[in-house]
Amino acid sequence: MNILLLTPPWSYFELRHPKLKRPSSLYVSADVSGQGALPPQGLLQLASVLREAGHEVSLLDGYFKDIALIKECAIVKRPRIIGISTITCLWKKTKALLRELRSSLPNSLLVIGGPHANFAKGNCLNESPELDAVVLGEGGRPLLELTKRVDYKLDINGIQGVISRGSSEEDSCACLRSIDNMDNIPLPAYDMADFGFYVPNLSFFDKMPFMHIFTSTGCAKRCGFCAIYDKNPIRMKSVSYLTKEIEYLIDSFGVRTINFYDDYNIFSHSPEQAYLLCEALRNLKKGIRWSAYMVNFDIERNLLTEMKRSGCFRLNCAVESGVQENRNRIRGEYFPLEKIRKKIREMRNVGISTVGRFQFGIPGETFREALQTIDFACSLPLDYAYFVKILLSPGSAMFNSYLEMGRINPDTETWSAYSDFFNPDGMTRRELALIIKRAYLKFYQRPSWWMKNIIAPRERCLYGGYLKRIKKAS
Ligand code: B12
């Protein structure tokens, strides 16, 4: 069967300035330089599952494209099923896309999945009359079942994990977990990603080409701001699977740098497996460079040394807050701040550079506490830091608590990508905006930081490479 997988049209510019006119493509450079744009891993995974089952799959990422172009591609392909991966801040755009697709392809089955589907569930069908079904949770198995039913012209109602016009939300939501063993799913369809088009965030940037990869699905943590892995336990890819995936990326696409993108990944979850992965990466002898997110600071120095030896150049550390109580609230665990300091020092001592992530606007956090966090960030031996308004994903505990306090407008269309939609309870919105500016100024204005990072020859060469890469993408 002919299936088209899409993301709605998007760019960071439009997400930041929804009322302004779409910029010209010259803007791509400015656009990606902030956050980086990466191929949609969810769709790459679904594409490989569908292809393995014998379907003909095409993939189109809406990054820097418009509805007209996407519609044109869809008309050329005439797919039987169109699957769209969407997030809450792009739901309005997705509805407009669905309208256009329906008008020109009346016989295609229109399906959505991804974070917004999991959050809004059956409401998506109420809000978009053109939509046929909403796939919840891990999409592979339900989507395969859906294609089978369409193939055999059977009723699509009553599929586990799929809400359709004729099946109730309760029946469909019983199980959102469709992957039992990560090793049983085929490698993501990396051949469908345009390696020349995407640029990673500066904090993962090194030698190009680059790809981000996931070591797991689900999560073992329950962080207050995240709703994604709400009901699903963690399932890890095995070391041999990961090694095969990385080797495939290197051999087939010339990849030289990877980032382990899951927040809570193999290095946080399973030190034994992490040692084995480092050994396997070293044995590959392909000189791969890698970075990772680091959530768990209870990591042995020996493992850090092994990580460095296997190519790790940077760890992106989720410090979150410099006030112990607020950190505990966000992470749902107690880990002493002073131990975090010690671990970051160890990372640097073994030669891994570090980025600290800090979030402001945690429920109850005061302006004075936020200032304490800035001081804490500046006192850590970090190479870089980034400071954001807490990235509340719709449906998370902290999001719901702000909603209950009446501090979030219940109209979903006002929920922007940059957490501009909530009024914090411990400080004013103005103070929250001010604190972010102040944090960046204070962290990056220190002469010691400039001496270390800008004047050092290796970093100078890295920034130069990054600017060149962005220019090429545009
Ligand atoms: C990687 C990532 C990015 C990358 C790549 C995004 C991309 N195009 O895929 C970059 C850096 C570009 C990015 C940018 C942004 N991101 Co982002 N990103 C993530 C992250 C960390 C992982 C997503 C991922 O690849 N997961 C791995 C894959 C395998 O899983 P998956 O995508 O969930 O897909 C599975 C299922 O969801 C389902 N599925 C997904 N799509 C579909 C479609 C169909 C048809 C079906 C049947 C099933 C299905 O099946 C898949 C396989 O099991 C998530 C957080 C998270 N932990 O999920 C945030 C997240 C998705 N991002 C988010 C946001 C807000 C953004 C930005 C707006 C920037 C920002 N302010 O943070 C932009 C918007 C860009 C965009 N259009 O997506 C939010 C979305 C919140 C929401 N509910 O709407 C999340 C959830 C983070 C958060 N704050 O909670 N992001």
pLDDT in tens, 394-425: 999 999 999 999 999 888 888 877 777 899 99
CATH number, domain with residue 277? 3.80.30.20
In a domain, 182, yes or no: no
What pLDDT does residue 11 have? 85
315 within ligand 1 shell (Cβ under 6 A)? no
214 within ligand 1 shell (Cβ under 6 A)? yes
Same domain membership, residue 78 and residue 36: yes
In a domain, 184, yes or no: no
Same domain membership, residue 209 and residue 326: yes
pLDDT in tens, 149-177: 999 999 999 898 999 998 877 766 656 67
Residue 387 structural domain:
199-473
Same domain membership, residue 230 and residue 118: no
In a domain, 186, yes or no: no
456: confidence class by pLDDT, cuts 50, 70, 90: low
219 within ligand 1 shell (Cβ under 6 A)? no
In a domain, 160, yes or no: yes
Same domain membership, residue 448 and residue 372: yes
Same domain membership, residue 227 and residue 107: no
When comparing pLDDT for 471 and 147, which is higher? 147
135 within ligand 1 shell (Cβ under 6 A)? yes
Q: From ligand 1's centre to the CA of 115, what distance in Å? A: 7
Same domain membership, residue 336 and residue 453: yes
Same domain membership, residue 435 and residue 321: yes
Same domain membership, residue 116 and residue 159: yes
In a domain, 194, yes or no: no
In a domain, 132, yes or no: yes
Share the mean pLDDT of the chain: 90
In a domain, 189, yes or no: no
CATH number, domain with residue 27? 3.40.50.2300
Same domain membership, residue 135 and residue 22: yes
Number of structural domains in the chain = 2
What pLDDT does residue 39 have? 94
What pLDDT does residue 12 have? 83
Same domain membership, residue 158 and residue 275: no
Q: Against a cut of 0.75, is the pTM above it?
A: yes
- Minimum CA distance residue for ligand 1 atom 78: 87
Ligand 1 atom with the shortest distance to the CA of 62: 77
113 within ligand 1 shell (Cβ under 6 A)? yes
Q: What number is the average pLDDT over the span 284-310?
A: 96
3-state secondary structure the chain: CEEEEECCCECHHHHHCCCCCCCCHHHHHHHHHHHCECCCHHHHHHHHHHHHCCCEEEEECCECCCHHHHHHHHHHHCCCEEEEECCHHHHHHHHHHHHHHHHHCCCCEEEEECHHHHHHCCHHHHHCCCCCEEECCCCHHHHHHHHHHHHCCCCCCCCCCEEECCCCHHHHCCCCCCCCCHHHCCCCCHHHCCCCCCECCCCCCCCCCEEEECCEECCCCCCCCCCCCCCCCCEECCHHHHHHHHHHHHHHHCCCEEEECCCCCHHHHCHHHHHHHHHHHHHHCCCCEEEEEECCCCCCHHHHHHHHHCCEEEEEEEEECCCHHHHHHHHCCCCCHHHHHHHHHHHHHCCCEEEEEEEECCCCCCHHHHHHHHHHHHHCCCCEEEEEECCCCCCCHHHHHHHHCCCECCCHHHCCCCCCCECCCCCCHHHHHHHHHHHHHHHHCCHHHHHHHCCCHHHHHHHHHHHHHHHHHC
Same domain membership, residue 378 and residue 252: yes
Same domain membership, residue 425 and residue 350: yes
453 within ligand 1 shell (Cβ under 6 A)? no
